[in-house]
Structure 1
Amino acid sequence: MPKTPSLRDLEHNQAFVERHIGPNDAEIAHMLRIVGHDSLDAMTDAIVPGSIRAKDALALPGSLTEVDALAKIRAIADKNEVFRSFIGQGYYGTFVPNVILRNILENPAWYTAYTPYQAEISQGRMEALINFQTMVADLTGMEIANASLLDEATAAAEAMTLAKRSSRSKSDVFFVSKNVHPQTLEVLRTRADGLGIELHVGDDADAAAVESYGVLLQYPDTFGRIHDYKAVADAVHARGGLVAVATDLLALTLLASPGEWGADIVVGNTQRFGVPFGFGGPHAGFMSCRDAYKRSMPGRLIGVSIDAEGNPAYRLTLQTREQHIRREKATSNICTAQVLLAVMASMYAVYHGPDGLVRIARRTHRLAAILASALRKAGVAVGNDFFDTLHVTGIDAAALHAKAEAARINLRAIDAGSVGISLDETTARADVIALAGLFGAAIDDIDALDAATADALPGALRRQSKFMQHPVFNSHHSEHELLRYMRALSDKDLAMDRTMIPLGSCTMKLNATAEMIPVTWPEFGDIHPLAPAGQAQGYRELIDGLEAMLAEITGYDAVSFQPNSGAQGEFAGLLAIRAYHRSRGEGHRDICLIPESAHGTNPASAQMCGMTVVVTRCDANGNVDVDDIRAKAAKHADRLAAIMITYPSTHGVFEEDVVEICEIVHSHGGQVYTDGANMNALVGVARPGKWGSDVSHLNLHKTFCIPHGGGGPGVGPCAVKSHLAPFLPKAFGSDDAGGMVSAATFGSASILPISWMYIALMGAGGLRKATQVALLNANYIAKKLEPHYETLYTGRNGLVAHECILDLRPLKDATGIGAEDVAKRLIDFGFHAPTLSFPVAGTLMVEPTESESQHELDRFIDAMIQIREEIRAVAEGKLDRDDNPLLNAPHTAAQVSASEWTRAYPRELAAFPLASLRRQKYWPPVARVDNVHGDKNVFCSCIPVGEFADEPEAFSEPDVV
């Protein structure tokens, strides 16, 4: 008679851990036998050096069910209070169209996609991004825009450095209007400090007189005023400087674009285009510029090239890749964007179109003008020439804020005698009446007051030029049309909802639905980042709780959540090291040791902090060369600031000497920075803060389940030991020692619930098991593929960490088939390629993560074995060396269904190399994209409709740059 299961057994089966981890216990046992171990613990001991292995279990609670975790975070969310917000200062209320909320923000086809490095399987999200670029360029009056930056403040900092390297002036002074948003000024101060840039903050009128290489203006300014800056721009240009402008896209639907009066670079935030406050983020910042500066523009840029059939196809241009290649000579450390939020903003523009945006802007402005008129009638002083923001002066601000709080209204606190009031598309007539009432002004007939009130836009700056005339912005205004357009785009792409994305160093794991649900709750989404602290008690509890969780997991003592990307986390960590040395009277320490295998953001971040990078060698096995580190640490002992290492290594192995490396650096006065990119191999197994590391950034969008969103949002909190804690990024408005690295105190706060939920759902034991299965899955793939591909690097006992590097170079030498050909051929099997040619050219780096089942791993293994057979067929002459399915991959449905087939191999081999593909098949929308053509022909806005004619030759090339 079968044994009756116990209550504990039944409850175990309800636990989330078994939902998150792909292989079940039977599959784990089978895979362990393949790898050569009888338990996960035995395998872990064989992989992880004993010198760093954690001796104790994590001091975290056990795993929760989804029901219990959601109830717990609901109780936390309920402690936030959502007031009507009129604070402004760069953040505005907005309506997220429900069709975009459900089908973009809440849709895994969009939020689980990766950065579009593989162009052929990313055409949908790149079309959405090129719509974003076109929207921004049109509204700002610039020739070109990038595919988003992290927020307005960091975009302004990037503009400061872009102006520096593009200006003809030899000055090191950057002039900043005192009327920019205060958080922007804080970030500029932080960034300028390490780059030898002198900030001069002053009145707008002084911008024309101060000798500088560039200026930053705000239009409209932080107090809502609209100034005519043409004379200033002309004066700055006359002395060889550049003009950067921070602006508001909604205002630009009614105001002359900055490009029309002389701006060279324009930055801002697209948050009010359908993205919630989120207590500060994530939101898509933007940058646009004149064509002359496009090669120096930071971040990602979507461009247009052609595919193998001559058809137009989207691809990433050189921008971010160039920065990584340049390493310590990079001008920016940007590695990510805010793709998901940029897609939302672009779809908001597509849905409303130019006429709809103008209608929203006009209504917002009318309400502001009506409110200003009512206040003036009551004797209240209000500024002139505004769009949506009123600067009210000559009042008792404290008393007014108290009245507003009683009415559950937030106003902007400016000083003791003034407040700011910013209206937006969510403002209703009742809000205007209530706001007027706070000042003792009664509005008896709002329509009559409307009729008697003139607009407050300066006549000379009213927009005359058209914008967003491309059909994409004028064709999808019904919900049904937009729904189908978004579905058509997502159908072109591969995301985690369709297939494993085995990208090494990227940790593409399950982003569970339960983790995502709280993100769209209004208690998290509708809180302004500058709301009074008493209204954000739930956020405070959640952030404090997540900090304690991450400190326990990592062995560090304090965590800042301000960095809103991994690269920002690196920057914050190095800033803390620099400030620590300065506090001890050792500000001369400026040497940063970085192994040659490091990710390109590491040396770029060090350069941004004013550090000098000294590269250390790796040995033939891919390990850092400890003797070289020892020699260079001794050589630079008087100036040594830090070492930046990645652990497990960039080559996917646990190196044996990490403790010794920490001791060497500490003995010469330096600090140890450990890149957290590979933390998924450490959670519950080893803790960097306990083996000697001083600081790490953590990629919450990797290890801790925040989705990659097609290339952002990311979150890169900075975790430090106690001696560095005073130097973490400061809160906005505080006098703490650290500088701000992002616009909002807690960065992209609204997506922190995802990581909180993941840790709560997994519990201490689940987190450790997840790490162990991640190690197992990587070693299972390496072992199964061992007869077919060489694993380039292994660690102790011949095992890898959480990823393995497959060496394609010998096959390239023998057959002409390289790693890129294998990557493209995998698309025919329905797979996103592994990481291509990083960290070693000619290789593929595979990271399966713990959430992929044995079935999915075997499907990938079968594909790789079939590809190896095809390469062997080329070597043996059974497939033509110059006309084979690898060189011609990927194959589109149009190609294999055409009336003529001229290839030297069968259609069936092109389309269905495995029988299983006949049951389920992904068809790429374009053939292989021509990268060289795209790099030579930088074309980065919506493709004219005429270019989509049936004949490929109808596509006209843009001018060669």
Structure 2
Amino acid sequence: MQKINREHKVRNFHQAKWDEPIIFELHNSGERGVSLPKVECEIVECVGDGVSALPASLIRKSAPELPEISQNRVLRHYLRLSQETLGAAFNVEIGQGTCTMKYSPKVNEEIAASPKMTELHPLQDESTVQGLLEVTHKLDLCMREISGMDYFSFQPGSGTQSLFTMASIVRAYHESKGEGDQRDEIITTIFSHPSQAATAAVKGYKIITLYPDKDGFPDLEKLKEVVSERTAGFVVANPEDTGIYNTRIKEFTKVVHEAGGVCYYDQANANGLLGITRAKEAGFDMCFFNLHKTFSTPHACGGPATGALGVVAKLKQFLPGPIVEKQGNQYILNSDLKHSIGKVRSFQGVPQMIVRAYAWIRSLGAEGLKDVAEIAVLNNNYLYHHILKIRGASAPYIKGQRLEQVRYSWEQLTRETGVSTDDISRRMADFAHQYWTSHHPYVVPEPFTLEPTESTSKSDLDEYIASLTHIAKEAYENPEKVKNAPYNSSIHRVDEQDYFDNPEKWAITWRSYLKKVKEVEKIRS
């Protein structure tokens, strides 16, 4: 038997590949996973057949076209699909920079899956959901302590929705002062997430973008030039998506406040800041945290997640209502917000995320949260130190330490070998690694963005570094090998045509897919 060299960090990995149809194609008429017993006559006489009492408008004219399939084939189908997926619980996950894939304790999943949570209904009376309201209020108090803000809403379902909510609050605030038409400009930075500019633009604001000064930081002098009586607000991420932390941020918020603007803070990712610095002391009027980044809840496909939105006292009346407050020994839903922008999401957001985040915070405590930040920064700088040793890799703009993530560049490697960051992304899948490039605009050429978080061990980091080093070496010695990757993944290459940008090629449901297939066949015939 051949002995495996465990000192060699590059894994010999091959992902399972199944020629697996989607579940609708596995349909076999009459096949069942579970056979239900016939309802006894006594029960029917007592409660009816369960259908005839329904209003006619609620009764379907025909049964839903669901796949009919046996239990063992359902199990086989989904297990096969799971084998074709790379995920945070399966591989060393540090390659989703700005998205923060950290380990989520499984005990928190057990709590969220408890019948005490899953059997709640959003229309229940407040008196029957005191436990959940208490947890929500206590998470609010935790967030206040972490950020310095005075009140929180957990309605927004994502960071982008939180940014949209904050832009809405900025507009409502200025309108309440009679300056809504006058103040029509939002200032942001080129390094910040595109959602900051996009959400403000959706609210009708003109966007002014600050570029780096000679030292690589957002240009403070340029801010002083563009700020005016037309300034509605200033929105920024800090650290920004490249990993740069602006230590002069309080000077920026001071300039904007002196002009009458509102400062709001994208803290979607606060892994490097917990217990170290707060939005309040940096001069911000609002901030948000993504519970699905910093506070270890699932991303949930960017939808059923939570952007926890905090404001200072003067903006409380503009929050989306209701907010949870304590009144005596009871917890209530307070809708008495004079200038509320209204709901941004149904009911109170996603309670399972609130419970998971609260459990995570309580398990760590104040000292533990600070440990999270310190370990995340340590891990990131260890990674930073070693990646800059790889031939062809660099980290543009600021030199020296970064915070919790870095947007690196393969510009030199691409120039010298023709291998792009997308090629390397596909090759990384051959070693069971996820790898993210960047969102647009590409302010860093041939980018790749990494964030190890506090979850990653030194051994994990060494494995990831070894894989990147191995692929960079391949790029210089045999670039075609990297360009034609992946070889060990479940899918060889994704057809990179215009599918993502062409709605005519989208099929959100099985029914729409069949309809489009028929349309194509009709055209071809």
Structure 1 length-normalised TM: 0.46
Q: Is the 8 A contact 1:938 1:958 kept in 2?
A: no
Please state if 1:783 is matched with 2:385.
yes
Shift of residue 121, structure 1, vs aligned partner: 9.0
Residue identity opposite 2:93 in structure 1: I
2:73 to 481, 487, 490: 481
Q: Deviations over 1:36-87 (max 9, x none)?
A: xxxxxxxxxxxxxxxxxxxxxxxxxxxxxxxxxxxxxxxxxxxxxxxxxxxx
**1:665 correspondence with 2:256:** yes
In the alignment, which residue of structure 2 is the partner of 1:760?
362
Q: Distance in 1 between matches of 2:154 and 2:55?
A: 40
Task: Tell me how far 1:775 sits from its aligned partner.
Answer: 0.7
Aligned with 1:886: secondary structure? helix
CA distances 1:730-758 after superposition (whole Å, capped 9, x unpaired): 12893422133334332011221110011
Corresponding residue for 2:458?
854
Q: Which residue of 2 aligns with 1:541?
A: 134
Maintained 8 Å contact 1:123/1:925: yes
1:517 offset after TM fit, Å? 1.4
How does 1:155-194 map onto structure 2 within 5 Å?
none
Alignment counterpart, residue 863 of structure 1, candidates 467, 478, 490: 467
Which residue is 2:83 aligned to?
491
State the Cα distance separating 1:808 from its structure 2 match.
0.6
Q: Which residue of 2 aligns with 1:216?
A: none
On the 8 A contact 1:794/1:800 being kept in 2, the answer is no
Q: CA deviation at 1:455?
A: 7.5
Whether the 8 Å contact between 2:241 and 2:407 is mirrored in structure 1 is no
Kept in 1, the 8 Å contact 2:305–2:353? The answer is no
Question: Counterpart amino acid of 1:746?
Answer: Q
- How many Å separate the matches in 1 of 2:16 and 2:369? 32
* TM-fit CA distance, 1:932: 1.4
Alignment of 1:3-402 (within 5 A): none
Amino acid at match of 1:734: S
Partner of residue 505, structure 2: 938
- In 2, distance between residues paired with 1:497 and 1:455? 44
Q: Partners in 1 of 2:353 and 2:247 — Cα distance?
A: 36
Name the counterpart of 2:10. none
Residues 456, 645 of structure 1: alpha-carbon distance in 2 compared, 3 angstrom cutoff: closer
Aligned to 1:791, the other structure's residue is in SS state: coil
Report the CA distance shift for 1:932/1:122 in structure 2 as closer, same or farther (over 3 A). farther
| Mapping of residues 888-903 of structure 1, within 5 Å | 888-892=484-488
Deviation readout 1:665-689 (Å, 9 max, x if unpaired): 1111101111112311111111011
| Residues 820 and 538 of structure 1, relative CA distance in 2, 3 Å threshold | same
CA distance in 2, matches of 1:608, 1:123: 43
Whether the aligned pair in 2 keeps the contact of 1:566 and 1:697 (CA below 8 Å) is yes
Is the contact made by 1:655 and 1:795 (CA closer than 8 Å) also made in structure 2? no
Q: Structure 1 stretch 497-506 or stretch 724-733: which is displaced more?
A: 724-733
Give, in angstroms, the shift of residue 934 of structure 1. 3.2
Match of 1:592 in 2: 186
Distance 1:694 1:519, change over 3 A: same
> Aligned runs of 1:766-845 on 2, under 5 Å?
766-788=368-390, 789-793=392-396, 795=398, 798-836=400-438, 839=442, 840-845=444-449
User: Which of 873, 877, 886 is the equivalent residue of 2:482?
Assistant: 886
| Selected match of 1:507 from 83, 92, 100 | 100
The answer to whether the 8 A contact 1:782-1:791 is kept is: no
1:957/1:640 CA distance change after superposition, 3 Å: farther
5+ residue gaps, structure 2, are: 1-13, 323-332, 515-519
- Give the residue type in structure 2 aligned to 1:498: F
Take 1:934 and 1:767, find their aligned partners in 2: how far apart are those partners? Answer: 42
The answer to whether the 8 Å contact 2:396/2:409 transfers is no
CA distance, structure 2, for counterparts of residue 672 and residue 765 of structure 1:
29
Residues 679 and 351 (structure 1), Cα distance of their counterparts in 2 relative to 1, 3 Å cut: farther
Indicate yes or no: 2:216 matched with 1:630: no
Larger Rg: 1
Residue 280 (structure 2) aligned to one of 689, 703, 715 = 689
> Using a 3 Å threshold, how does the CA distance of structure 1 residues 480 and 612 change in structure 2: closer, same or farther?
same
Deviation at 1:888, TM superposition (A): 0.6
- Residues 353 and 540 (structure 1), Cα distance of their counterparts in 2 relative to 1, 3 Å cut: farther
Shift of residue 641 of structure 1? 0.7
Q: Do the aligned partners of residues 523 and 807 (structure 1) sit closer, same or farther apart at CA in structure 2, a change above 3 Å counting?
A: same
* Aligned positions of 1:639-658 closer than 5 A: 639-658=230-249
Q: Secondary structure at the match of 2:483?
A: coil
Q: Structure 2: how far apart are the matches of 1:450 and 1:855?
A: 58
Of Structure 1 and Structure 2, which has the larger fraction of its residues in helix?
1
Contact 1:793 / 1:800 at 8 angstroms: preserved in 2? no
CA offsets per residue over residues 622-658 of structure 1, 9 Å max, x none?
421222211111xxx2221101101012220111321
Checking the alignment, whether the CA contact within 8 Å between 2:394 and 2:410 is kept in structure 1 is no
Which of 118, 121, 128 is the equivalent residue of 1:528?
Answer: 121
Instruction: State the match for 1:709 in structure 2.
Output: 300
The residue type paired with residue 491 of structure 1 is: Q
Q: In structure 2, the residue corresponding to 1:835 is in which secondary structure?
A: coil
Question: Which residue number corresponds to residue 244 of structure 1?
Answer: none
Q: 2:322 aligned with 1:738, yes or no?
A: no
Change (3 A) 1:807 1:516: same
CA RMSD of aligned residues (A): 3.7
Mapped partners of 2:28, 2:216: distance in 1: 53
Distance 1:352 1:626 in 2: 66
Q: State the distance in 1 between where 2:215 and 2:191 align.
A: 12
Q: Quote how far apart the aligned CAs of 1:590 are.
A: 2.3
Residues 233 and 264 of structure 2 are in contact (CA less than 8 Å); yes or no, is this contact kept in structure 1? yes
TM (norm. structure 2) is: 0.82
Q: Following TM superposition, by how much is the alpha carbon of 1:925 offset from its aligned partner in structure 2, in angstroms?
A: 1.3
Identity %: 27
Q: Secondary structure at the match of 1:701?
A: coil
Q: Give the secondary-structure state (helix, strand or coil) at the position aligned to 2:482.
A: coil
Give 1:718's aligned residue: 309
Name the CA distance, whole Å, in 1 between partners of 2:385 and 2:111: 40
In 2, Cα distance between equivalents of 1:802 and 1:889:
30
